[in-house]
Chain A
Amino acid sequence: MPNSSLLLEIRNLHVGFRIFEGHLRVLAGVALVVNEGERVGLVGETGCGKTTTVKSVLRVLPIPPARVAGGEILYRGRDVLRMHRHALHVLRRQELTAIFQDPLQSLNPVFTVGSQLRDIVRDSMRTPEGRALSRREIEARCIQALEETGMPDPDRIMSNYPIQLSGGMRQRVCIAEALSTTARLLLADEPTTNLDVTIQDQILRKLDRLVDQKGSSVLMITHSMGVVRDLTQRIYIMYAGSIVETGPTRQLLASPKHPYTQGLMASVPRLTGRGVSEGIPGRIPNYLEPPPGCRFHPRCPHRMPECSVEAPPMFDVGADQRAACYLYRRSSS
């Protein structure tokens, strides 16, 4: 893959939280890559560190209690973790954009939709000549952004407060905010988790089309295998703070190799109606004292002695598919 297409690269990221009981070692060497124009999914269950990863990229983790213990987050080759305030501000305004799970928390309840949207457009958009937009241009851009998300009657919505809108409408506002700018990378953290399935379907299709039009890259965080399958080309499966498997989305979902991914996929209820598996025994480890070696080994049906000694590196398990599991040691050349 040509290096020029590399947009975001997370290298060996370690993030912890200092709390009263001790030191929570949450992220243990997360590594992932998003290329220019690519849509990547980051999938995992509650508490696996997906949101911590995204917040690290945006640098919105509260420090303390959070602490970046090591690693790099490179955006177009520049380390986000070492950026100065001004550079970070520019990055957040013009390059990165985010949609979070709960639009009521990401929208300010005391300002109208219009006033929030105008602020974003005013701050992050420039004309091709580099001039700030006029008031009329800002207004037009805001209305257009709302229209693009399929919002009926955008003029009226502009003067509404978030509380006056339904959940689906609020999430459309967030999408409009995220995509009203010229940002290159969209971080979407469970954007449709709180929505009903028919509304989720509409929003995902809209998001899909808008991202296509703008050619943005996406890092989509979710726990829904179905959502990543619809929206992304490549996925990373995360368990207890590290990436356990990665590969092209459909290929990986059709033939998962890591025992955790296999257990997860077997647990997903299918429309084919062949029943559900027994799930995965045990639960996610306590981050105060994570198990040594592979963090999945206490729950793994294929546990081997070396699993509790050292965390396995990634082994090739298929075309572009890699899994962090000693089961596949031989197949790696």
Chain B
Amino acid sequence: MTEPILEARGLTKFFPTKRGTVRAVDDIGFRMSPGDTLGLVGESGSGKTTTAQCVVGIYAPTTGDILFHGRSIGATAAKRSKELKREIRIVFQDPGSSLNPKRTIKQILATPLAVHHLASGREQLARISALLERVELPPAEYLYKHPQSIGGGEKQMVAIARALATDPSFVVLDEPTSALDVSVQAKIINLLLGLQKEMGLTYLFITHDMSLMRNVASRVAIMYLGKLSEIADTAEFFQRPLHPYTKMLLSSIPVVSDEEESLKPAKGISRGEIPSPVNIPPGCSFHSRCPSRLDVCDKIDPATVEVAPGHVVRCHLYPGPQEGSS
């Protein structure tokens, strides 16, 4: 494996509330190589957005650490160096609320350039135009428009341009297309894949859409109630899903052709509700919904086991070699 660009080690983020501690992210670890797209997939409340926000420095982890090029970046953005903030950027889910409605697109894109002292005056305008061209929006038409006068897909392209303004190497995409129609999503995804190749970007792609990840990610990680249940390279992941939750997710996807239907695992009929992250079931947090539950599942939290090179599962069905029968 090449030197990882980003690594999470025992990353944990708890939020104390009146009703108890929300264990949003609970001891997760992953490594990403340059040029990777890690698809972080999970349902609502699984902690995928909190993970992303720890990576960009919106939150500091409760315990654990995040390494960027081997250096610890666990602090919040306020304590991060500007250089680091230039390298790690984020695109949010809803471009309607992440773009300031009172500013023109030119002003929106000028902000990161000014903050990071990258360009000013005439050079700034040239950079902004180049950015807009990069996301396939003709500058002459879009420079002086306000966000509300352009479509949802175009807004998201502006948000992507803003993220790319500082020439980052790592971009967190937090459900960048889930608010958009599929025909617009297709356009944005192709744009993102093109930009990745062109600029050598590494993506942490947060989503709930498994079908999309099949086409976009190089690795897929499944999160459930703050923990990673399974990580594997995309092809391996979809050919040989192991965790019962992964199987349940895959079998729940509504698909549009018989060919895809045959790719879904037969087992794993969906049941049960997602428990509240304040009140996570003991043992394996998935045991209350699991179709292949064992006796130990509600007592002991399973360990993370590498069942094949790069394929990691956290489930008692796949005990590690050192564990034996517990």
Query: 1/0 per position for A248-286, CB-CB distance to B under 8 A?
Result: 000001100000000111111111111111111101000
- Min C-beta distance of A181 to chain B, whole Å: 26
Within 8 A of B (CB), among A156-197: 166-169, 196-197
B147-171 contact mask (Cβ, 8 Å, vs A): 1 or 0:
0000111000000000000000000
Say whether B270 contacts A270, CB under 8 Å.
no
Q: Give bound CA distance, A293 to B216, whole Å.
A: 37
A202 proximal to B (CB < 8 A): yes
A230 to B210 CA separation, bound complex (whole angstroms) = 18
Check B254 for interface membership: any CB of A closer than 8 A: yes
Set of chain B residues within 8 Å of A196, measured between Cβ atoms: 43-44, 208, 274
Given A273-B234, A276-B189, verify A268-B181 contact (CB < 8 Å).
no
Q: Determine how close the nearest CB of chain A comes to the CB of B313; give it in whole angstroms.
A: 19
**Does A333 have its Cβ within 8 Å of any Cβ on chain B?**
no
- Is B81 an interface residue, CB under 8 A from the partner? no
A273 touches B214 (CB 8 A): yes
Contact segment of B72-80, B107-115, B258-266 = B258-266
Does residue B325 face the partner (Cβ distance < 8 Å to A)? no
A-B contact pairs, 16 of them (CB 8 A): A196-B44, A199-B274, A202-B271, A229-B256, A253-B257, A267-B185, A268-B211, A269-B182, A273-B214, A273-B234, A273-B235, A276-B185, A276-B186, A277-B186, A277-B190, A279-B188
- Asked whether any CB of chain A lies closer than 8 Å to the CB of B183, the reply is yes
Q: Decide if A12 is an interface residue (CB 8 Å cutoff).
A: no
Total count of chain B residues near the partner, CB < 8 A: 45
Distance of A165 from chain B, by nearest CB (Å): 10
- The answer to whether A278 and B187 touch across the interface, beta carbons within 8 angstroms, is yes
Whether B182 contacts A271 by the Cβ 8 Å rule is: no
CB A196 to nearest CB in B, in angstroms, measures: 4
**Closest residue of chain B to A249, judged by CB?**
B256
Would you call B184 and A279 a contact (CB within 8 A)?
A: yes
B238 at the interface (CB under 8 A from A): yes
The interface residues of chain B lying within 8 Å CB-to-CB of A223 are: 181-182
Q: Which residues of A contact B210 (CB under 8 A)?
A: 197, 271
Say if the beta carbon of B212 comes within 8 Å of chain A: yes
Assess whether A278 is in contact with B190, with CB atoms less than 8 Å apart.
yes
Residues of chain A within 8 A of B256, CB atoms compared: 225-226, 229, 253, 265, 268, 270
B223 at the interface (CB under 8 A from A): no
Q: Are B252 and A273 in contact (CB under 8 A)?
A: no
Q: A226-B255, A269-B212, A276-B190 are in contact. Are A198 and B181 (CB under 8 A)?
A: no
Q: How large is the interface on A (under 10, 10 to 19, 20 to 34, 35 or more residues)?
A: 35 or more
**A264 and B183 contacting across the interface, CB-CB below 8 Å:** yes
Neighbour of A283 across the interface among B151, B185, B235, B274, CB < 8 A: B151
Q: Does B66 contact A (CB under 8 A)?
A: no
Report A-chain residues with C-beta under 8 Å of the C-beta of B123: none
Contact B270 A202 (CB under 8 A): yes
State whether the Cβ of A45 lies closer than 8 Å to any Cβ in chain B.
yes
From B189, B258, B273, residue with most partner A Cβ within 10 Å: B273
Closest chain A residue to B251, Cβ basis: A201
Q: Contact: B255 with A229, CB < 8 Å?
A: yes
CA distance A194 to B43 in the complex (A): 11
Decide yes or no whether A46 CB sits under 8 A from chain B: yes
A13 CA to B264 CA in the complex, in Å?
A: 40
Find chain B residues with CB under 8 A from A280 CB: 183, 186-187
Knowing that A169-B273, A197-B208 touch, tell me 5 more A-B residue pairs with CB under 8 angstroms: A269-B209, A269-B216, A271-B253, A279-B187, A280-B183
Cα distance A226–B255 when bound, in Å?
Answer: 4
Point out the residues of chain A lying under 8 angstroms from B186, CB to CB: 266-267, 269, 276-280
The answer to whether A279 and B185 touch across the interface, beta carbons within 8 angstroms, is yes
B216 neighbours in A (Cβ, 8 Å): 269
* Interface residue B172 (Cβ < 8 Å from any Cβ of A): no
Of the listed residues A198, A199, A202, A254, the one surrounded by the most CB atoms of chain B closer than 10 A to its CB is: A198
| Chain A residues within 8 Å of B274, by CB | 166, 196, 198-199
A179→B151 CA distance, assembly (Å) = 38
How far is B227's CA from A233's CA once the two chains are assembled, in angstroms? 40
Q: Does B221 contact A (CB under 8 A)?
A: no
Give CA–CA (A224, B255) in the complex, Å: 9
- Report the separation of the CA atoms of residues A274 and B257 in the bound assembly, to the nearest whole angstrom: 13
Asked whether any CB of chain A lies closer than 8 Å to the CB of B322, the reply is no
Closest to B152 in A: A46
A112 within 8 A of B: no
Q: Does any Cβ of A come within 8 Å of B25's Cβ?
A: no
Contact A198 B43, beta carbon cutoff 8 Å: yes
Do B254 and A271 have beta carbons less than 8 Å apart? no
The B202-240 residues at the A interface (CB cut-off 8 A) are 208-212, 214-216, 234-235, 238
Q: Decide yes or no whether B249 CB sits under 8 A from chain A.
A: yes
Which of B44, B183, B234 is within 8 Å of A45, CB to CB?
A: B183
Say whether B242 faces chain A, with CB atoms less than 8 Å apart.
Answer: no
Interface flag for A200 (CB, 8 Å)? yes
**Are B270 and A199 in contact (CB-based, < 8 A)?**
yes
Complex contact B238–A271 (CB within 8 A) = yes
Q: Which residues of A contact B185 (CB under 8 A)?
A: 267, 269, 276, 279
A125 within 8 A of B: no
- Distance of B185 from chain A, by nearest CB (Å): 7
What 1/0 mask marks residues of chain A from 31 to 58 whose CB sits below 8 Å from any chain B CB? 0000000000000011000000000000
Min CB gap A226→B, angstroms: 3
Are the C-beta atoms of B187 and A201 separated by less than 8 Å?
no
B206 to nearest A CB, angstroms?
14
User: What distance in Å separates the Cβ of B37 from its nearest Cβ neighbour in chain A?
Assistant: 13
Interface residue A227 (Cβ < 8 Å from any Cβ of B): yes
Within the complex, what minimum Cβ distance (angstroms) separates B83 from chain A?
35
- The 0/1 profile, CB within 8 Å of B marked 1, for residues 100-120 of chain A is 000000000000000000000
